[in-house]
Structure 1
Amino acid sequence: MKHFAPILSSVVILFCACGGDDDASSQALAPDAGPSSVAPDAAAPADAAVPDAGPLVCQVERPKSRFTVAVVPDTQYLFDQDRIYPEVLTASLRWIVDHAREYNIVFTAGLGDITENARPDEFAAAAGVYKILDDAGMPYSLPAGNHDLTRSSQFDNARGKEPYLDYLLPTRPGNHPTLGGSSPNGYNSYYVFDGGGQKWMLLALDWRMSQDSMRWAENVINEHPTLPVIATMHELVDRRGAAGDPPNESAVLSSYGQTVWDNVIKNHDQVFLTLNGHFWTPARTTMKNTAGHEVHLHLTNYQDRYYGGSGMIRLYEFDLEHGTIEVSTRSPYMEAIPEANRLPAQAREVALVDADNRFVETMDFESRFSGFRGAPVPLPPGPLSVEQVLVPGTVAYYRFENGAGGPVGDTIPDRAGRGNDLARVTSSGGAAADIAWTNQYHPAQPSRGALFFNGSKSKPPSYLRTTDAAPINAMTFEAGYTIETFVRPPSDCCSEHAWMGVLSRFAPGSAAGKTGDDPSEPLATLSFTDSPMLQWAIFPTNYDGIKTNWSHIFAADVWHHVALVNDGHHTVMYVDGAPVVRNPRSETVGIAAAGKPWLIGAYSYDSKVEQAYYGWLGDVRIVDHALTPDQFMTARPR
């Protein structure tokens, strides 16, 4: 699946004040002080004082299906000859320790360039800070970057021993619980940790791997054939030079990164996520491996920002239940400065919330990992019979399964047996293949098939409509209704297909005597905007204008279940079983009618069908009263 818009509507903020002394935070820095006023001091201890974070933060545990991997990118400007600022990294690592339970932080991954000049005094200062994680028993990795190696060996992939190994050897005591082993030269290591009730592997790879190191990495993956793998290294992808690239397509393999991709990543399906620094600014992309599965490649580096990156850390919050990886970026050092004392340059570094630094990757973990775990993707029991889906009050039920494939014929029966059959309409100039049977379906859908509508604004529409004699044409549903369907918008949806209708009433508001808002709009329509998100817009029987419900932005190329539930007074939209926030609280009774057909896969304006739907459409069920989520078509068991 592709990347999705950087919207964090699903993120639950878990911070809350638990008490504390306000004076403590105000005394941490004088009003005219801040990190920029700290004098360089090569002898500064690794545990130098940092601004107090103020009130305590409630330690709310994540559900067991959620866990976090913390990422520490290039810190080289904090450990540069006599320009040693250990207090900045100290704040970051202390934050990780203090919030380990709240975020269920199971591992901390470095990305190289720990120091600027690979000097022993630089390494000693950095190693002293990382003792914070050692003392807390928290596992971490620290692969070398080019600045962690002396100039004479940076590009020597057969280098010998370097000061890096004396101070930051992967076999430091704090890493023993998860350390699986290191390559013979000491510059590569792997770790196995627990997260969400399963085991994961993290590879910490050298700045420039020799052929022997690449073979070592491949052997490690092959020796752990069922573990998902996160690969970290100092260089892999760089930011694209072209302006205007969307955030999820803003990175490209470097020359060396191409070598790593070809030799270590693309042929090993277990590698699903890669993290690297070195270049700036942050960027990300996805590539398909030889198994046809996506690998997410992320560039994370802030050394070019104020205060050497301000000790920025990234949090990768895995939610196995909901299939997401939520990514956020913050500077604990800048966070700890009382807000009133922050200079503008400091305030900008507290948290980065742009699309490159705060976003969600959506991933069906079971499906993505099933190829190397040797087990099929578990699906809910099914298919369900028609009788199992026909709850009392079912007005119409349509299943779009046809093993023969090919174009859809003239009619599709109403499986509820209420006479609300569908007729196919192919406009003059339209093509038979514009509505086709497919074997695609939502895993929790009752049937095992869907239609693909190949509609657009630039071609004559092909769609389905209820027959003229269908009883549903005159129904106003004043006692309530539940309308359900399954949709999957394609990855190139929906800028060219904005306001395409999933289902709608053909007649405009004026046909039912409505004069408010735009009476040329249809009496009811469930339509995709260009975002894409869904809008349910209707003329209710008790109101002269239009009432609307809105979804959040949808993930493209992913199946979603949508339900519109009206209890006779209010309408609630549900997406994947959860109510959305943009549901009106005003009284909304029924749907106005004019005796005209319902359309499936089309939108009309002023009694003219303007465009057909573009995407997949699964089962459709309409019930004459409000159902609860445990009665939706997705509910199991029945």
Structure 2
Amino acid sequence: SKFPSAAKIDPKDLTTIGVLHPGGLSNFRAVFGEYTPFFKDKEWYVSANDGGADSAQVFEAGGYRFLHIGLQFDAPDTSLAWAAKVIAKYPGLPTIVSTHDYMDNDGERVPNSLIDGHKADPTGSNTPQMVWDKLLSQHDQIFMLLCGHQHGQAMRTDKNRFGNEVYQVLADYQDRGQTAKDAGAKGMNGYPVGIGDGWMRLMEFDMTGKTPVINVRTYSTHYEKHSTDTPQYAAWYKAQEKPKLSDEAFHRVDAYQIALTDFHKRFKKAMKLP
């Protein structure tokens, strides 16, 4: 890739032991490891751990330098310790952390009960709450957490131990299957064939104003339109993802704005010189 990027582990990328117990990283490392063509010798790929299961990137945007840290599924203590060292190496940079299973679509920090690494291996995996307690809340330059895995969307904001905001965002559309329905495919137990329908989360950072904002939108590469431009959006997906919401409220969970009220003051030292 010519642009800074990262690949994070999904349980389907893991070698499995039994039914739903992730048990190895060989598949992931072979394709997305630190020495693969995606990342080898890229100047923005600044650190890796566990063969690339955890990785870090530095990039510039909107007049700031940012640090991104990608953590493996149910990150163990060794991953969290590595991440802390990377943060110490790049002090003061606004930091975004991405991981896989962290939050459900009610905004609760709970693991997916079907694939709970900590339950299967308490000494080798951390729960989402443990990741918050041990890492995210302990480093003031972490201002955002991105996650997937649990189907749907959610956003929560909590203060870290320094009293500053950490924005935690879930977006996962892999179970959507309107395109499969339209093609005549039948799902199981009331669920459609999970094909995703091309939906992805877009986050546009506007750093120009007195208060920087993140404009959050949702776009389908299949339908070639945003969720807000799709009249059938709630009819297609609301019942499965957020059945208690009105149609209007369901649209709002996939199109909203995050105001970074303290960003300029908090990260003044990370601004690039003209």
Q: TM-score, normalised by structure 2?
A: 0.72
Report the CA distance shift for 1:294/1:167 in structure 2 as closer, same or farther (over 3 A). same
The letter for the 2-side match of 1:369 is: F
Shift of 1:209: 1.6
5+ residue gaps, structure 1, are: 1-133, 241-250, 337-341, 376-638
Q: Distance in 2 between matches of 1:229 and 1:254?
A: 23
Q: Distance in 2 between matches of 1:228 and 1:321?
A: 16
Match of 1:362 in 2: 259
Q: Distance in 1 between matches of 2:36 and 2:59?
A: 16
Q: Distance in 1 between matches of 2:137 and 2:35?
A: 28
Match of 2:220 in 1: 331
The answer to whether structure 1 residue 254 and structure 2 residue 152 are counterparts is: no
Match of 1:181 in 2: 47
Q: Distance in 2 between matches of 1:291 and 1:217?
A: 19
Q: Distance in 1 between matches of 2:130 and 2:74?
A: 10
Report the CA distance shift for 1:224/1:263 in structure 2 as closer, same or farther (over 3 A). same
Q: Distance in 1 between matches of 2:267 and 2:90?
A: 13
- Does the 8 Å CA contact 1:142/1:170 hold for their aligned counterparts? no
Deviations 1:186-220 (A, max 9, x none): 31000001101221011111002222111001111
- Does the 8 Å CA contact 2:105/2:154 hold for their aligned counterparts? yes
Match of 1:67 in 2: none
Match of residue 292, structure 1, among 144, 149, 163? 163
Deviations 1:536-565 (A, max 9, x none): xxxxxxxxxxxxxxxxxxxxxxxxxxxxxx
Q: Distance in 2 between matches of 1:299 and 1:374?
A: 26
Match of 1:151 in 2: 16
Judging by fraction of residues, say which structure has more helix.
Answer: 2
Deviations 1:319-366 (A, max 9, x none): 112211100001022118xxxxx9x68x968xx971111000011321
Shift of 1:160: 5.2
| Higher relative contact order (CA closer than 8 Å, sequence separation 6+) | 2
Q: Secondary structure at the match of 1:260?
A: helix
Shift of 1:374: 9.7
Q: Distance in 2 between matches of 1:324 and 1:198?
A: 14
The letter for the 2-side match of 1:144 is: I
1:315-394 map, 5 Å: 315-322=202-209, 323-335=212-224, 354-364=251-261, 365-369=263-267, 373=269
Q: Secondary structure at the match of 2:135?
A: helix
1:180-199 map, 5 Å: 180-199=46-65
Report the CA distance shift for 1:327/1:374 in structure 2 as closer, same or farther (over 3 A). closer
Q: Distance in 2 between matches of 1:311 and 1:259?
A: 32
- Does the 8 Å CA contact 2:13/2:25 hold for their aligned counterparts? no
5+ residue gaps, structure 2, are: 112-126, 180-194, 238-247
- Does the 8 Å CA contact 2:47/2:56 hold for their aligned counterparts? yes
Count matched residues: 219
Q: Distance in 2 between matches of 1:147 and 1:184?
A: 18
1:624-635 map, 5 Å: none
1:134-173 map, 5 Å: 134=1, 137-152=2-17, 161-173=25-37
Match of 1:215 in 2: 81
Shift of 1:172: 3.5
The letter for the 2-side match of 1:143 is: K
Deviations 1:151-199 (A, max 9, x none): 229756xx65411111122444344142111103431000001101221
Report the CA distance shift for 1:374/1:315 in structure 2 as closer, same or farther (over 3 A). closer
Deviations 1:355-385 (A, max 9, x none): 1110000113212335xx499xxxxxxxxxx
Q: Distance in 2 between matches of 1:263 and 1:215?
A: 9
Deviations 1:560-588 (A, max 9, x none): xxxxxxxxxxxxxxxxxxxxxxxxxxxxx
Report the CA distance shift for 1:206/1:267 in structure 2 as closer, same or farther (over 3 A). same
Q: Distance in 2 between matches of 1:224 and 1:155?
A: 35
Q: Distance in 1 between matches of 2:105 and 2:202?
A: 20
Match of 2:199 in 1: 312
Match of residue 140, structure 2, among 249, 261, 269? 269
Match of 2:97 in 1: 231
* Structure 1 vs Structure 2 CA RMSD: 2.9
Report the CA distance shift for 1:302/1:160 in structure 2 as closer, same or farther (over 3 A). closer
